[in-house]
Structure 1
Amino acid sequence: MSGSDTPQLVFVHGIGKLRDTEDERRAWLEALAQGARRAGHSDAVSGLTQGWLAEARFANYSDLFTDAEAQGPEVAEAWEPDEEQAEFLEDFVETLLDELGRQAAEQGDRQASAVIEDARAQLPRFDDQAQGVGALIRVLGRVLTTVLQLPVLRQGAQWASGLPLLSHLSQVGRYLDRREADGAGRTLDARIRERVLRGTDPERPLVVVSHSLGSVVAFEALRDYPGQVKLLLTLGSPLATAAAVLQRLVPQPPRTPHRVERWLNFWDRDDVVVGRPRIQNWMLPNASGVLPVTDRVDSDGLWVHTATKYLRQPAVAGPLVEALRK
């Protein structure tokens, strides 16, 4: 396969802290190689890690969130949402509680149901909203601190308390805000999408792997992409999170990007960031009739909202490798 027809593989990350581009690219590729081996594609491992099966790029936009968000212990103090962003977070947190409660009920998990009901009882009241954004954020932080007592989240210990988690979740709202702009008047969401598509060649096939907020970014970035998109993978996606995300997408009504030939969506039942995972129920097909196909994976380990845990799954890595080989 010559360099001119080598497929392009773009990784699009989600919420979280400042990232190192090359470290992340390497970690995602290594996880994908593990998943490929488990899926029976051991012969593809060297091609993935050495770059001859696909030209892999990690689209890093994490620094675009750092102006108003410090890294490290001071993150909660440095973050100052406005009223509209706070309202988004209130909707988003309530939606997350609804989904977690539904899953706990389906599994008959009384302990988890009790934690979720405790968190739900702490949701903001009118008095909290009337006291302003600061009071609302403090209440939502306490709600998420309670949610983090769920065993799978408590043992993972990715966040010490609800405020840092809320700060990271706010990145979804900031992307969808459409108002936040730099000195040249370029909105945050447009700058993020530009990072995703930077360096892509429409003359070569493209495979996109997107995680968390990155699935929202990739969905919108591919809207007008003129080249062939052989596969769109969305992992741990909040795309179908009704009023909080779905109704803020562009275009409306949402439909599969027109050059996407296949869309696979994966979710893990213990992934706190995923809302209702049935994206296909809320998405119109593109002209080729393509709709997302959703499947569930059960990750091992204690914390599942990471792209690398999804990529280690053979159900995820298998179709990805097959798309690169076609």
Structure 2
Amino acid sequence: MVLVHGIGKQYLGRLSLHGALAAAVVDGVERAGGEGLLTPQDIDIAFYGDVFRKRARGVRGEDEPRRVADLDDPFEQRLLLDLWRAAAVAEPDRVAAPAAEGTRAPTPVTAQRAMNALLRSRCMPGAVAERFLLGTLRQVRRYLNDPAIRQYAREAVTVRLTPDTAVVIGHSLGSVVAYEALCAEPGSAGALVTLGSPLGMPKVVFDRLEPAPLDGRGAWPHCIRSWSNLCDRHDVVASVKRLGPLFDVPGGRRRVDDHVLDNGWKVHDLGRHLTDEATGRAVLAALRATPGL
């Protein structure tokens, strides 16, 4: 099994992530009734976070944004506004919807309003939420717009795949990396599990995928047999909760199995996704469908 992390991991590494995340995967599988079927040693980490460090090898580094005024890139501003809209839909009791000006070209004032609104949502709790969100915007933008970063991240996934890989799990931006890597993978990876995924976000993510969607439908990675997608109902990163309408293969031959979770106050947290019984069931089903397991 290969696990692909999300944003904000640039100061960690493959082995430093492994312990807690591998244990969480095992906990989720055991909660779903698969006790003894999986051990932490069966789980590998595809690590690409170091490509976002200031002095990443082969890639020009960028300073991390520290305040909303640093968002001078139109893509980052647009993504911030899209997250604001998603938060207003998910939590109308906590987050006011953007005014009419939010539909026009982003401005510094609009961006600040978007940030203030998002900090009231369940998806962005805590004192470090603003810096975290600013870093998220920049990492998503750099992945989708810098071919060198895109290639580095994908290769971090493909190098971990083996003929025995039964499941690939991708979280947040890592779900985009995993999806694109599997679309280009000639072998077999069994099943894909996406957690808190922004794959369905129109324009900023979905329409920029490789391979490009055709007629409003994204490609199904030919190397996988099944795909489960899970997200918290308040997760603004996973603004499109159901990926099936975007990625299902016509005729019912391949369908995304979509689930909505409740992760408490850490709605986007990878550990909480992994220990949820629904995630465990998705992983367990993929393992049981793998010949020889």
Q: Classify the TM-score, shorter chain.
A: 0.7 to 0.9
Residue 58 of structure 1 and its aligned partner are, at CA, apart by 0.7
Decide which of 98, 103, 118 is 1:147's aligned counterpart. Answer: 118
Count of paired positions: 277
Partner of 1:6: none
Q: Is the contact between residue 35 and residue 313 of structure 1 (CA under 8 Å) also seen in structure 2?
A: yes
- Fraction of identical pairs, as percent: 30
2:103 and 2:62 mapped to 1: Cα distance? 24
Unmatched 5+ residue regions in structure 1?
1-8, 130-135, 180-186
Equivalent residue letter for 1:172: V
Provide runs of 4+ in structure 1 moved above 6 Å.
none
Q: 1:26 to 1:321 in 2, by over 3 A?
A: farther
Cα drift, residue 167 of structure 1? 2.0
CA distance change for structure 1 residues 143 and 98 in 2, over 3 Å: closer, same or farther? closer
Say if 2:87 and 2:118, in contact at 8 Å, map to a contact too. Answer: no
User: How much does 1:206 deviate?
Assistant: 3.3
SS in 1 for 2:237: coil
Counterpart residue number, 1:11: 3
Is residue 2:159 matched to residue 1:198?
yes
1:132-160, Cα deviation, whole Å (9 max, x unpaired): xxxx4x7525522331123x346x41x53
Larger Rg: 1
- The answer to whether the 8 A contact 1:142-1:163 is kept is no
Correspondence for 1:61? 48
The match for 2:141 is 173
Partners of 2:83 and 2:237 within 8 A in 1? yes
Matching of residues 298-309 of structure 1 within 5 Å: 298-300=262-264, 302-309=265-272
Structure 2 unaligned segments of length 5 or more: list them. 55-60
Q: Could you tell me the TM-score, scaled by structure 1's length?
A: 0.76
Aligned mates of 1:261, 1:298 — CA distance in 2: 27
Partner letter of residue 76 of structure 1? Answer: R
Alpha-carbon distance change, 161 to 321 in structure 1, aligned in 2, over 3 angstroms: closer
SS across alignment from 2:191: strand
1:22 to 3, 12, 15: 15
Q: Which amino acid aligns with 1:315?
A: A
**Aligned partners of 1:95 and 1:75: how far apart in 2?**
19
Distance 1:316 1:164, change over 3 A: closer
Please name the residue that 1:94 is paired with.
Answer: 81
1:319 pairs with 2:273:
no
SS at 1:76 equivalent: coil
State the shift of 1:305 in Å.
1.0
The 1:141–1:317 alpha-carbon spacing in structure 2 relative to 1, beyond 3 Å, is farther
Q: Using the alignment, how far apart are the partners of 1:153 and 1:319 within structure 2?
A: 24
Q: Which has the higher helix share?
A: 1
Alpha-carbon RMSD across the aligned residues, in angstroms, is: 2.7
- Do residues 242 (structure 1) and 202 (structure 2) align? yes
